[in-house]
Every structure is written in structure tokens, then in C-alpha cells.
Amino acid sequence: MQNNPMQADSIETLLGRRFGKAICYSGYREGQNPRLEIYPSYDEIKEDLLLLNDWSFLRLYDCSQHARTVLRVISQEKLDFSVMLGVDIAAEVSNPNCPWGAQFSEDELARNRERNDRDIGQLIALVKEYPDFVCSVSIGNEASVEWTDHMVPVERLIEFTQRIREHVNVPITFCENYVPWTNKLIPLAEKLDFISIHTYPVWEYQSIETAIEYTKQNYYLVKEHHPNMPIVITEAGWTTRANGCGIEQWNASEQLQDIYYQQLLEWTEHEKILTFVFEAFDEPWKGSDDPHEPEKHWGLFFENRQPKLVMQKGIKT
């Protein structure tokens, strides 16, 4: 098995599929919660994926029963999706910079390291089981940015990458906020096949008037630091509801979501930047108990699978 990053002149060549629409997918409905291991059923996931049949690429966040069921539905129903499979890595060090708390005992951190090793093994097993549908894997999600509550050292991320390469021949990335790619993640980038960035203008107090230019600045900043690496946007979106904690209420609506997505997809399609829209469906399990918590409201569809404005109008591509 290869031990070095794959060489490719484009993301299409690397992932083995022509450029197309991409979306982040978590199928958790009211009363379901991955933390409680309450997962959507086969039929619920099938219903979701049929709603998403206009997309080519799906991004999944873990290797739990949810991911296994998604891959089984795609395989058994003969659906035309290529999947970026992820792993939900837990904190391996405490992070005093996390605003909502990320201090852990040594016993907790030791258990997390064991869990992360198991999850990397599960990712490898799923790639082997569904090689025709997994087009790439991510070794984690937002685990190195300064505010994260699940900080993992760069050395361990490199270790995960090397372990995966020893067992499966699949392009490897790491999904992270754009900032760490300009500094601490440079050693990791050298081991990956492509870079995956997150860009959220609304979380950084941008209005809709400045949002798309801010997203472009985020992308091109990373590109300046890694001019020879393919770069994918694995999260970009706009919440439709907010409670004033981090995002002002006036800056969250279906109308603003619609405007941002139209601008985002117009730019990324023109530049051929593979971009995973965040996200398919609202997820009520996320964040605080406040029903206006912005983490719950990023979907293009409501939790009841009814389309929001952006989907009622249709997204231009």
C-alpha cells in the first residue's frame, strides 16, 4: 500500500468523479441523537437520499451505525453518490481556549485516545467494505482550531493519516477552519492528498453584503500557503435562525441563506472548487436547549424534510 500522498492534477482526477454538487449529510431527526446512539433507520435515510438525488457527493462525519446505514442504502438502492467518510475524533488534550469548556482528566483523555484508534480502524473497515462508494476519507473535523472542544495534536493527525495509508488506497484529507492551514497544519498538509477548509462568514460577524468576498478571501489565503495542493471547501453555509449568541438574530434567515448559496455556488462552479454545502437537514439535537440555537438551523431542508426557501426556488448550478 502506498505511503505517500496521491499525485493528481485536479480534484476530479483524485476523487474519480466529474465535478458536481456536494452536501454535508447527517440524518438525525427529532428525538434522534448520535451522542445517545439513537440513529435514523434504513427507510428514513433512504427517504433523505432520494430527496438529495440532485447532489453527487455526500460528506459523512463519523463511522457509526449512521454511516454504515447510509453506505448500505447507497449500495442496495443503487444510488449515484460518492461519499467522503469521516471520523468523529475526541479530545486528546485539554484546551483552555475553548469558550464553552474543554478541560479533561488524564483518564478521560486516555479513553479518548483509545476510542480514536478504534474509530480509525472502523473507518478503514468501512472503506474496505464499500470501496465503490467511498471516494475519500477525512481524519477528523475541526480538531485543531484554537477554540475547539476536541483538540488533537498534529502529530496524532499525521499518525492517523499514515495508518490509513497502510491499509487502504483512498484519498485522505482533514476538515478544518481555514486559519490553522496557514500555520500549525502545514506539516499535516504535506501528508494529505488534499486540503479541506471551512468558511463561515456569518460566524465571523459578516453581513450578506460582505459574505461571499470574505469566503473568497478565506479560500485564497489557504491557496497562497499551499499553491500546489487541491483544496476543497467541506463546509460553507448560512443558518436560518439565531438567538444572538455568536450570530445576531437579524443576520439569520431563509432569505439570507438563499442569497449566500446562490453566490457561493456561482463562484465555486465557475472556479471548479468542489464545495460541500452545510448542510442538508436541520438537526434539532445540536447545541443548547434553546430552540433558536443557530447550530440547529443550517439545513437546506427543515427537520421535517420540507424545503426552505433556497430549495423551493432551486439552486442555480
Domain CATH number, residue 282: 3.20.20.80
For residue 213, say if its preceding peptide bond is cis, omega within 30 degrees of 0.
no
Residue 4 in any domain: the answer is no
Closest CA to 141 of 235, 58, 22: 235
Q: How many domains does the chain have?
A: 1
Residue 61 in any domain: the answer is yes
Residue 211 in any domain: the answer is yes
pLDDT tens over the chain, length 317 residues: 456 788 666 899 999 999 999 999 999 999 999 999 999 999 999 999 999 999 999 999 999 999 999 999 999 999 999 999 999 999 999 999 999 999 999 999 999 999 999 999 999 999 999 999 999 999 999 999 999 999 999 999 999 999 999 999 999 999 999 999 999 999 999 999 999 999 999 999 999 999 999 999 999 999 999 999 999 999 999 999 999 999 999 999 999 999 999 999 999 999 999 999 999 999 999 999 999 999 999 999 999 999 999 999 654 43
Residue 122 in any domain: the answer is yes
pTM reported for the whole predicted model: 0.96
**Phi, psi angles (nearest 5°) of residue 174:** -140, 135
Cell of 48: 433523505
Closest CA to 308 of 262, 255, 243: 255
Span 103-142, pLDDT tens digits: 999 999 999 999 999 999 999 999 999 999 999 999 999 9
Q: Please state, in angstroms and rounded to a whole number, the distance separating the CA atoms of residues 220 and 224.
A: 6
> Amino acid identity, residue 222?
V
* Domain encompassing residue 185: 11-313
Cell of 143: 480538531
The stretches of the chain forming alpha helices (DSSP H) are: 11-15, 42-51, 65-76, 106-129, 154-167, 186-189, 208-225, 254-271, 309-313
Residue 3 in any domain: the answer is no
Span 176-209, pLDDT tens digits: 999 999 999 999 999 999 999 999 999 999 999 9
CA–chain centroid gap for 124, Å, is: 18
